[in-house]
Amino acid sequence: MATPLSSETSHTVRRTLEFVQHHRLAKGDRLPSERELSERFGVARSSVREALAVLDAMRITERRPKSGIYLRNAVEDGGLDALVLQADLGLTFDPQVTRDVTEARIICEEQALRLACQRRTDADLTRLHQSLQTYAATIQAGGDLAEADVDFHLALVAASQNRILVRTLTPLMLMSRRWRERYFESDAIRRRSLADHRAFVAAIEARDEVTAAAQVRRHVETAAADVRALAEQGGLAATNTT
Amino acid sequence: MATPLSSETSHTVRRTLEFVQHHRLAKGDRLPSERELSERFGVARSSVREALAVLDAMRITERRPKSGIYLRNAVEDGGLDALVLQADLGLTFDPQVTRDVTEARIICEEQALRLACQRRTDADLTRLHQSLQTYAATIQAGGDLAEADVDFHLALVAASQNRILVRTLTPLMLMSRRWRERYFESDAIRRRSLADHRAFVAAIEARDEVTAAAQVRRHVETAAADVRALAEQGGLAATNTT
DNA sequence: CTACCAATCTGGTCGGACCAGATCAAGCAA
DNA sequence: TTGCTTGATCTGGTCCGACCAGATTGGTAG
């Protein structure tokens, strides 16, 4: 439930990204050949190719047949999934990123909640209550709340009937999940979080756009501030690669 | 500049996604083994593995060592990059998706523009004017405006100083780019689009949040409506896979 | 019927091989 | 000397076969 990618592939993806950063390669620059990378990393070429296929799909690199591998975007750019991948690999822990993710989450979730108030169906309410149930149960059992949290927020956005918004939020939630694993250790926070979530559902049920929007904004901002405080206490290892 | 993925890998990714859809596999279901897929698709196992590495990174599948390949998400879910990939492969052309993408774009771009009005630097203005210049030049030369359009909108969002928003918008822009290739064939539209863009930059320069937000909303909505009209004229081949 | 063990299947990784186009430098011609 | 042709080299794309070790499963012995 936690493993992101198979060991060797992720290892090679990581090494490759590190190589790019270490050598300060810019957009359009060429990377070493597959054969050289495989030798340098001590893995077979087939493993390198798997990693490159991933980087290609992420739009980070571009493989030109018979020519070479080129950097399509700087490592800092690229798609959202690429960012999740980097987070999974422990390559991104920039405080700037956490700020930006929080901001983006608020933008998307606030508007999604407004839409949800307008369009939510009974099925959405059912799913939300179910997720809430799981959330409460997880608190009781002392389980991994981060996962339940992701599920709830995605259910929230799903009520907007906009699948693209769900897809947009998914990577943002996955990223912030990592930061919040420590965060959810506090019992007070766990309970407050549950209360917040219940309020969201109530607002959606009542189709109260204004309240829902204000609540989610405050919720995400508060959570982000708490995480930041934790980080400053030295709670999070910063692998600042920029 | 147009090629999304290498031929064979994308071919196999496509076949795999089609297999999943055709067999109506649900979350948690198991796919055939790599060896069987390679035989079924008529490609080497190494090619299948590259495709699976991509699907894995996209969080569509999950490969459990010594066990099998399982569907992590329904094909309709997954990350944003996965959607771009599907669009690249011609697997997604659902009118519902275009509506959702438009909605998501408006949400993100409108707020991004507001932030841009607050935070834009002189460097941002320079880049915007540069992009505008390229845009005008492309119109003159009769070139591919879709690409210049993506560049401009990303530059717009970049002025918000929020990299995550840029990453969020990137897949949305890449997707809509495909729909708009036909759209930009009309000369009237090309010119109107340029005028709109100039207005955005002016609003950002003047730090006029309200105007900028309203403009971008109208711009995206209008463009989406035009594309829809084109599609209904039979202008776009619908490969509705749902 | 249960419990245990071995054949089988699976993904993970490796190494080598061939192809055809891109690249580039050496050598030839002007 | 300069410019162009040409061939060796390099590169990614694809395929094949092999080995490993853990998961799975079926059959057999108790």
Residue of A nearest to B109 (CA): A107
Report the sign of the C-alpha dihedral through residues A224, A228, A229, A231, in that order: positive
Which residue, among B222, B219, B233, B224, has the nearest Cα to B180 in the 3D structure?
B224
Asked if the Cβ–Cβ distance from A107 to B107 is below 8 Å, we say yes
Q: Among B6, B57, B97, select the one facing A54 at the smallest CB separation.
A: B57
Q: Is residue B236 predicted with pLDDT exceeding 80?
A: no
Which residues of chain B make contact with A162, given a CB cutoff of 8 A? 100, 103-104
Asked if the Cβ–Cβ distance from A103 to B164 is below 8 Å, we say yes
* Tokens found for residue B69: 């390949």
Rounded to whole angstroms, how far apart are CA atoms A31 and A39?
14
Q: Is residue A157 predicted with pLDDT exceeding 60?
A: yes
pLDDT of residue A234: 59
Tens digit of pLDDT for each residue in B136-192?
999 999 888 988 999 999 999 999 999 999 999 999 998 888 777 778 888 888 999
Strands, DSSP E only, in chain B?
30-31, 61-64, 68-71
Q: Among A6, A50, A58, select the one facing B50 at the smallest CB separation.
A: A50
Q: Give, in Å, how far the C1' of D19 lies from the CA of A44.
A: 14
pLDDT of residue A194: 95
Taking the Cβ of residue B82 and every Cβ of chain A, the question of whether any pair is shorter than 8 Å is answered with: yes
Q: At what angle do helices A7-22 and A34-41 cross, to 10 degrees?
A: 110
When comparing pLDDT for B108 and B80, which is higher? Answer: B108
Taking the Cβ of residue B60 and every Cβ of chain A, the question of whether any pair is shorter than 8 Å is answered with: no
Which burial class, exposed, middle or buried, applies to A99 when counting CB atoms under 10 A from its CB (0-12, 13-18, 19+)? middle
Measure the CA angle with vertex B81, ends A31 and A135; round to 5°: 125
Which residues does B25 contact at the CB level (< 8 Å), separation at least 6? Answer: B31, B71
Protein-strand C interface by C-beta, 7 A: A 6-9, 11, 42-47, 65-67; B 31, 33-36, 45-46, 49, 52, 63-69
Which residues does A162 contact at the CB level (< 8 Å), separation at least 6? Answer: A112, A115, B100, B103, B104
Tens digit of pLDDT for each residue in A174-225?
888 877 777 888 888 899 999 999 999 999 999 999 999 999 999 999 988 8
Distance between start and end Cα atoms, chain B: 29
Asked if the Cβ–Cβ distance from B49 to A50 is below 8 Å, we say yes
What backbone torsions phi and psi does residue B31 show, to the nearest 5 degrees?
-90, 165
Taking the Cβ of residue A114 and every Cβ of chain B, the question of whether any pair is shorter than 8 Å is answered with: no
Distance between start and end Cα atoms, chain A: 29
* Tokens found for residue A210: 């204004």
Taking the Cβ of residue A53 and every Cβ of chain B, the question of whether any pair is shorter than 8 Å is answered with: yes
Rounded to whole angstroms, how far apart are CA atoms A113 and A199?
12
Tens digit of pLDDT for each residue in A67-91?
999 999 776 677 788 888 877 777 7
Which residues of chain A make contact with B220, given a CB cutoff of 8 A? none
pLDDT of residue B69: 97
The one-letter code for the residue type at B199 is: A
Asked if the Cβ–Cβ distance from A53 to B51 is below 8 Å, we say yes
Taking the Cβ of residue A179 and every Cβ of chain B, the question of whether any pair is shorter than 8 Å is answered with: no
pLDDT of residue B234: 59
Residue of B nearest to A77 (CA): B167
Asked if the Cβ–Cβ distance from A63 to B6 is below 8 Å, we say yes
Give the Cβ contact number of residue B7 at 10 Å. Answer: 9
Which residue, among A210, A108, A98, A106, has the nearest Cα to A158 in the 3D structure?
A108
Which residues of chain B make contact with A97, given a CB cutoff of 8 A? 163-164
Kindly report the nearest CA distance between residue B41 and chain A, in angstroms: 18
* Tokens found for residue A104: 């983006």
* Tokens found for residue B27: 């979350």
Q: Strands A61-64 and A68-71: what pairing?
A: antiparallel
Q: CA-based diameter of chain B, in Å?
A: 62
When comparing pLDDT for A203 and A93, which is higher? Answer: A203
* Tokens found for residue B173: 């822009």
Which residues does A230 contact at the CB level (< 8 Å), separation at least 6? Answer: A182, A183, A236
When comparing pLDDT for A229 and A101, which is higher? Answer: A101
Question: Exposed e or buried b for every residue in A143-160, given b needs 16+ CB within 10 A?
Answer: eebbbbbbbbbbbbbbbb
Q: Is the CB of A64 under 7 A from strand D?
A: yes
Asked if the Cβ–Cβ distance from A107 to B104 is below 8 Å, we say no
All domains in chain B, ordered by first residue: 7-81 (1.10.10.10), 93-232 (1.20.120.530)
pLDDT of residue A44: 97
Residue of B nearest to A9 (CA): B53
Which residues does A167 contact at the CB level (< 8 Å), separation at least 6? Answer: B77, B78, B79, B80, B82, B83
* Per-residue pLDDT band at A96 (split at 50, 70, 90): confident
Task: Report the C-alpha dihedral over residues A222, A224, A226, A228, rounded to 10 degrees.
Answer: -150
Rounded to whole angstroms, how far apart are CA atoms A12 and A196?
41
* Per-residue pLDDT band at B32 (split at 50, 70, 90): very high
